[in-house]
Amino acid sequence: MFDGLSRTLCPAAKTFIGIGLLAAGAAQAQQPQESLDAMIARDLRTATAQYTTLLDKNAAQPGFPRTVEGGAVKLVGARDWTSGFIPGSLWYLYQATGEARWKTAAADYTARTAPAKFDKTQHDLGFMLGSGYGNGLRLTGDTSYRDAMLAGATTLVTRFNPKVGSIQSWDLWKNTSWAFPVIIDNMMNLELLMWAAKAANEPYYREVAIAHADTTLKNHFRPDGSSFHLVDYDPASGAVRARVTVQGNADASAWARGQAWGLYGYTMMYRETRKPEYLAQARKIAAFWMSHPRLPADKVPYWDFDDPAIPNTPRDSSAAAIASSALLELAGFGDAAEAKRYRGFAEATLRSLSSSAYLAKPGENGGFLLKHATGHKPAGKEIDVPLNYGDYYFLEALLRLKATLAAG
């Protein structure tokens, strides 16, 4: 997320879900292939046009654009887990263009997430603070952003249970049958703790992050590299009580975005620790994803790899964007053959996301970039819509790819 990009840049109806997207992809493939540099430039032009529209229509209102619901942009508050992705995307646009207007807008929206610094009711402070404050600190050096990040890290570690060896994801009001729920998504919030350990010279933050990653590695994954969504623990003994899903198709299924969170999270944790077991797990998840027989030809997954309705079920462009960004970083941790394989897969995925099948035209899609994302299908929420985190990781992947191309 915020630190990984810095490291990348410094050293170097059924129509939409099935046949329609495949046909669009086939038509795209028949056209002369656009260079990656030209594709990135075009995508960034689209992003500036779309986010100009998004801000013009929503910046004066309190809240953060999250998705489109009923034809209108849905705004959420600072305590929503997605609140940080709008300021994060704006920081990426400032990085990409150097235009002061994006810096001003990013700083405005970042400040709006300040209440998250002290929110002890959830685990998503890495998303909420790292995307905005983290990228703001990286790009401006503003020390107030550093202070906000440290406050958030101090808040986050209050959810750590040493008996379990994990940070609790959700409070128990979510489901009274759980005792200590931990979701795979939580891997993404460890980057905030790894950063804080270095920024404050406080090893405890790092110890908590590593303990959580180790516990997740032990209990969340199946032999094929896929992940359960949620593992529930006994908070007194640390024993596993259940392995279930909330946002996936079934307890034993592979929810696509969950697999992307795991891939990104273990790649990031390897970057921060150089623990070989984290790199091995990231490679195992990548292999599961890249070779899956139910991954469509355009490499944008269905919302769950095991939905029996495939191919007549929604895609998740947000999962594709997250995985692409992760694979571009993973490419830097192997030999030449591995780098070529991971980067090539990410490039192909980004070409699909940059096609008319997924990338909105200026003025459409509520001002968001990517179409055809899926948030929470079992709950009937956010199906075939744009999602602000899909845009964020798409922009991050584009900037990572641009840096890779510039480095040769």
The residues annotated as belonging to the active site are 124, 185
Q: Would you say 243 and 209 are in contact if contact means Cβ atoms under 8 Å apart? A: no
> How open is the CA angle 157-82-196, to the nearest 5 degrees?
30
- Alpha helices (H) in 98-200, listed in sequence order: 100-112, 125, 135-140, 143-156, 190-199
| Collapsed DSSP state (helix, strand, coil) of residue 181 | strand
Structure tokens at 158: 């209050």
Residues in Cβ contact with 94 at an 8 Å cutoff, skipping those fewer than 6 apart: 102, 103, 106, 139
Select from 29, 240, 1, 26 the least CA-distant residue to 127. 1
Count helices and strands (H / E) in the chain: 16, 9
CA atoms within 13 A on the CB side of 270: 23
Describe the crossing of helices 256-273 and 203-219 by its angle, rounded to 10 degrees: 140
* Lookup: tokens for 194: 């790894």
- The two tokens of residue 205 are 């933050």
